[in-house]
């Protein structure tokens, strides 16, 4: 038995193990193709993925998902989405049945996990978010599902997929190891006055070795967010519009929990009409957690009309009094902001505000060319000794 090899050379390692151990594959049909049933297509999609190494949803086909997709623990599977998968916005159903993700009280339509997973094909994942955004306006306790959760996956590649109108976050990588996203387009667009909310492009949580490259994102919240215990992450060649930027955190939200974000490399980012550009955010206050942020590089950012192009915020979601009394327990070290150019919408174009007593160390700023078109650009910093050729822009730095 032979699997069709992908035209993309870099996919070969994913499937090399399949080719080498072809005899371990299920004896079932190698290739299954789905057709729309007219009703809930989740059962046939689940059956196909259990039985067939390759499952295709052809270009002319839209399958409708009305019940949750548990595709965990797969091995050597290729889902080829050329058509469309649409998640039916049956809010009462999903309210009781979406999979619960304990972190930040999230839920999801789809858990996809296991070993050697390829999800590609140029097709569309449609979260049917409009109904959710419209309902959220009158019910802000509505739990809106994450569109796709890569869950406990080892060796997963999501390639050439268009994701539209997620009700909430588009992608969560939860407890993953070696997960790659390439050539993804993300877009959340409302046709009513109720705008998309919390439409993060990616959140990474308790995962190691994650790559996100060559993608275009139009959303209203974090473009990419490195949540607790994201390590060895590479993000490169993203074009983000309308977002809250590329963020480490928020970290330290939960008392008694230790959060680590380490070895993150972010390069070649276009950031337009955004709330933030490159950001590190940590909670402070009386009842929060602790942790470390270490070895993070933000490099080659071109920012256009960004409210806060460069940010360290150690008082995230914390008022001034509480932040001064209970400084953040997140220690931030070895951070590089390199080659950051473009325009801010506010006078302060870079704001590196650390909690006192050495919470921030070895913070490097190089090759900044930021302007504030309506006036003079200002740089603020607090409780940090900056290194690099842009450090003088910030001095003097206030100490609290
Ligand atoms: C709001 O959403 C919550 C959570 O999904 C649900 O339990 C509750 O019944 C909804 N409230 C209303 C008024 O619809
Ligand atoms: C990128 O994905 C789109 C579908 O979103 C596809 O049409 C295009 O061919 C892909 N490009 C590459 C280089 O794979
Ligand atoms: C992060 O990893 C550390 C070290 O393994 C662990 O102690 C901590 O509980 C983890 N935190 C989270 C949020 O998973
Ligand atoms: C810092 O992170 C980068 C990118 O992930 C990695 O290549 C490098 O080895 C890390 N440096 C150290 C000292 O761990
Ligand atoms: C700075 O970033 C810009 C935009 O990404 C890039 O074209 C340029 O080569 C970078 N400069 C250096 C010295 O790397
Ligand atoms: C600031 O936050 C603290 C702790 O969360 C809270 O007790 C206090 O009421 C807040 N103060 C103001 C002025 O909001
Ligand atoms: C900055 O450096 C000075 C001199 O080495 C040191 O006394 C001070 O504690 C440092 N401040 C911070 C916030 O690290």
Q: Going from the N-terminus, what domains does the chain have, and what CATH number goes with each? A: 1-221 (2.160.20.10), 237-400 (2.160.20.10)
d(CA 3, CA 10): 16
d(CA 65, CA 142): 20
The pLDDT > 70 percentage for the chain reads 93
121 alpha-carbon distance from chain centroid: 21
Compute, in angstroms, the gap from residue 394 CA to the centroid of ligand 6.
Answer: 30
Query: Angle at the Cα of 169 (from 338 to 276), degrees rounded to 5?
Result: 30
Would you name the residues annotated as active-site residues? 244
Residues near 187 by Cβ (< 8 Å), separated by ≥ 6? Answer: 162, 163, 164, 165, 217, 218, 219
| 295 pocket-lining for ligand 4 (C-beta < 6 Å) | yes
In this predicted structure, the answer to whether residue 30 has a pLDDT above a threshold of 90 is: no
pLDDT at 400: 87
Q: Which residue puts its alpha carbon closest to atom 8 of ligand 3?
A: 258
d(CA 280, CA 335): 10
The length of the chain is: 400
Bridge partners of 278, per DSSP, are 246, 310
Q: What is the mean pLDDT of residues 234-239?
A: 98
| 137 pocket-lining for ligand 1 (C-beta < 6 Å) | no
* Cβ contact 101:107 at 8 Å: yes
d(CA 85, CA 87): 7
d(CA 81, CA 57): 5
* Cβ contact 234:265 at 8 Å: yes
Among all ligands shown, which has an atom nearest to the Cα of 159? 2
Among all ligands shown, which has an atom nearest to the Cα of 254? 3
In this predicted structure, the answer to whether residue 28 has a pLDDT above a threshold of 80 is: no
Render pLDDT for 345-359 as a digit per residue (tens, 0 to 9): 999 999 999 999 999
Grade residue 376 by pLDDT with cuts at 50, 70 and 90: very high
d(CA 372, CA 376): 6
* Cβ contact 37:88 at 8 Å: no
Compute, in angstroms, the gap from residue 259 CA to the centroid of ligand 3.
Answer: 6
pLDDT at 29: 61
Residues near 282 by Cβ (< 8 Å), separated by ≥ 6? Answer: 249, 250, 251, 252, 291, 293, 313, 314, 316, 328, 330, 332
| 322 pocket-lining for ligand 6 (C-beta < 6 Å) | yes
Q: Which is nearest to 181 in space by CA: 205, 215, 212?
A: 212
Q: What is the mean pLDDT of residues 61-70?
A: 98
Q: Which residue puts its alpha carbon closest to atom 14 of ligand 4?
A: 263
Q: Which residue puts its alpha carbon closest to atom 6 of ligand 4?
A: 263
Side-chain-facing half-sphere of 28: CA atoms under 13 Å = 13
Residues near 226 by Cβ (< 8 Å), separated by ≥ 6? Answer: 204, 233, 247, 248, 249, 261, 264
Grade residue 187 by pLDDT with cuts at 50, 70 and 90: very high
State pTM to two decimals: 0.94
Compute, in angstroms, the gap from residue 160 CA to the centroid of ligand 2.
Answer: 5
pLDDT at 123: 98
Residues near 305 by Cβ (< 8 Å), separated by ≥ 6? Answer: 272, 273, 274, 343, 344, 345
Counting from 1 in the atom list of ligand 3, the atom nearest the Cα of 103 is 13
- The lowest-confidence range among 21-35, 139-153, 171-185, 246-260 is 21-35
In this predicted structure, the answer to whether residue 5 has a pLDDT above a threshold of 90 is: no
Render pLDDT for 270-309 as a digit per residue (tens, 0 to 9): 999 999 999 999 999 999 999 999 999 999 999 999 999 9
Pairing of strands 106-108, 99-101: antiparallel
Mutate to test the pocket of ligand 6, among 322, 323, 326, 327 (most ligand atoms within 8 A of CB): 322
């Amino acid at each position: 038995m032979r699997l069709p090899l992908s035209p993309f050379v870099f996919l070969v390692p994913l499937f090399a193990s399949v080719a080498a151990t072809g005899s371990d594959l299920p004896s079932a049909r190698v290739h299954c193709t789905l057709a729309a049933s007219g009703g809930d297509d989740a059962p046939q999609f689940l059956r196909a993925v259990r039985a067939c190494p390759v499952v295709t949803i052809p270009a002319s086909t839209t399958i409708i998902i009305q019940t949750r997709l548990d595709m965990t623990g797969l091995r050597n599977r290729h889902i080829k989405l050329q058509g469309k998968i649409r998640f039916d916005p049956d809010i009462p159903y999903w309210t009781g049945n979406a999979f619960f993700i304990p972190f930040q009280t999230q839920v999801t339509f789809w858990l996809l996990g296991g070993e050697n997973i390829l999800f590609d094909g140029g097709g569309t994942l449609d979260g049917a978010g409009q109904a959710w955004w419209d309902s959220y306006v009158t019910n802000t306790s509505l739990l809106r599902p994450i569109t796709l959760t890569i869950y406990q996956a080892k060796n997963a590649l999501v390639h050439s997929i268009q994701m539209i109108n997620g009700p909430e976050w588009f992608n969560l990588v939860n407890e993953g190891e070696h997960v790659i996203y390439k050539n993804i387009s993300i877009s959340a667009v409302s046709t009513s006055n109720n705008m998309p909310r919390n439409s993060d492009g990616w959140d990474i949580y308790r995962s190691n070795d994650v790559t996100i490259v060559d993608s275009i994102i139009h959303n209203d919240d974090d473009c990419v967010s490195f949540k607790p215990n994201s390590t060895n992450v590479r993000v490169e060649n993203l074009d983000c519009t309308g977002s809250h930027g590329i963020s480490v955190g928020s970290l330290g939200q939960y008392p008694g929990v230790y959060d680590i974000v380490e070895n993150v490399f972010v390069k070649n980012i276009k950031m337009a009409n955004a709330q933030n550009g490159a950001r590190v955010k940590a909670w402070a206050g009386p009842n929060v957690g602790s942790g470390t942020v270490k070895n993070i590089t933000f490099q080659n950012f071109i920012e256009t009309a960004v409210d806060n192009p460069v940010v360290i915020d150690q008082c995230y979601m914390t008022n001034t009094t509480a932040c001064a009394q209970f400084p953040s327990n997140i220690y931030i070290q070895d951070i590089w902001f390199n080659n950051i150019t473009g325009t801010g919408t506010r006078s302060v174009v870079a704001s590196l505000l650390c909690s006192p007593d050495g919470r921030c160390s070895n913070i490097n700023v190089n090759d900044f060319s930021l302007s504030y078109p309506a006036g003079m650009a200002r740089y603020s910093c607090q409780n940090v000794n900056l290194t690099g050729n842009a450090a003088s822009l910030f001095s003097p730095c206030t100490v609290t």
